[in-house]
Homo-oligomer: A and B are copies of this chain.
Amino acid sequence: MNNTFGHRLKVTTFGASHAGEVGIMLEGIPKGIRLTADMFAADLDRRRPSLRGETTRHEADIPTIEGLDTDSRTADTPIRITFRNDNTRTADYSHLASHPRPSHADLVQRRKYGQEYNLAGGGMASGRMTVALVAAGVVAKQIIKDMSFSTRLAEVSGDSNSDHFETIIADVARRGDSVGGVIECRVSGVLPLLGEPFFDSAESVIAHILFSIPAVKGVEFGDGFEGTKRLGSERNDRIIDSEGHTLTNNEGGINGGITNGNDIHLRVAIKPTPSITLAQDTYNFEHKSIEPLTIGGRHDACIARRATVVVEAAVAIALADLYLRTL
């Protein structure tokens, strides 16, 4: 099992949803970056449940940072950021061992890691792990300070009118159902020449970490799938100046795997949360028959809003890694 991402900025997750803690180790951070707990507050807050239809599991999410010097600066040594899990209710998950949730990791995780393994709350595939990713993203953004991120929920349940999002999610939650969404991330101030021409294309590295985020089922850069319908003559991004700026940006800022200095633009498909309270007919392994499953526990009817900052963190980590490779 590989828990590490990155070549120069290496991040390694540890812990699990219902273990004592979750956390992340970061190796390769340049020396002298100041990191204080308050720098993490804004991004951690964006990930916190706040709307109707989002989980009622609340965690304080106070990062403990180890490995800094006495001036709170990185010192060419690894740092570790840890979060306590205080608000777990493992009992909520016990019946899922024999009656696994549809479209959820319950069954495969149980088969892969054994009946005796604590998979409550999703174990290592839990959304809980993403609190650590957000923290690593905060550090990554300090490494690529000139890049700025604008990440937003672009669609909920196929609707792109953001005024409707809260209502849609609240309605769906009331019915015991769930919906998905599309997240858009735009990065400005991107250094050109990040990424490599083959296996570690910028798209490869970014997509790799994005698809680690639970619930992500699609990633596209620039005009992505839509662009396949167009002619080269109308889609090609004409270069308009000596810095390589382009008239359009259908490539999403990446050519041949390498950033071209224009904004990076990407979209991420977030599936409807599999945990719904509506009954679902699915196989019960104890009873050896198909039976209605009603899921308890505390879940999000739509995870896409909370995932926005997670997507942003993932992109930041990937870009920081690619940036450090060019030094």
**A→B interface (CB under 8 Å):** 1-5, 7, 12-15, 19-20, 25, 27-28, 31, 66-67, 69-71, 73, 75-78, 80, 100-105, 107-109, 111-114, 116-118, 122-125, 129, 155, 157-158, 172, 177-182, 192-193, 196-201, 203-205, 207-212, 214, 216-225, 227-233, 235-242, 244, 246, 250-252, 255-260, 267, 269-276, 278, 280-283, 285, 288, 290, 304, 325, 327
Contact = CB atoms under 8 A, between A and B. Distances in A.
Given A69-B117, A113-B69, A242-B285, A76 B1 contact: yes
Contacts of A178: 231-233
A77 B140 CA distance: 26
A149 B290 CA distance: 31
A31 B239 CA distance: 27
A207 B209 contact: no
A94 to B, nearest CB: 12
In order of increasing CB-CB distance, the 6 nearest A-B pairs are A105-B256, A158-B229, A218-B220, A178-B232, A125-B197, A69-B116
Q: How many copies does the complex hold?
A: 4
Given A208-B204, A227-B272, A109 B197 contact: yes
B276 A1 contact: no
Given A116-B71, A227-B271, A103 B258 contact: no
A4 B25 CA distance: 12
Nearest to A193: B112
A147 to B, nearest CB: 17
A255 to B, nearest CB: 5
A241 B103 contact: no
Q: Which of A222, A224, A228 has the most CB of B within 10 A?
A: A228
Given A102-B236, A178-B232, 19 more contacts: A1-B76, A2-B325, A3-B198, A4-B199, A14-B25, A19-B67, A31-B114, A69-B117, A76-B113, A100-B239, A102-B237, A103-B237, A109-B258, A178-B233, A224-B269, A225-B267, A228-B271, A230-B272, A236-B276
Nearest to A32: B114
B182 A114 contact: no
B196 A1 contact: yes
A217 B231 contact: no
A172 to B, nearest CB: 7
Contact of A112 (B70, B246, B258): B258
B218 A70 contact: no
Given A102-B238, A102-B239, A220-B217, A116 B258 contact: no
Contact of A225 (B28, B66, B220, B288): B220
Contact of A113 (B71, B75, B100): B75
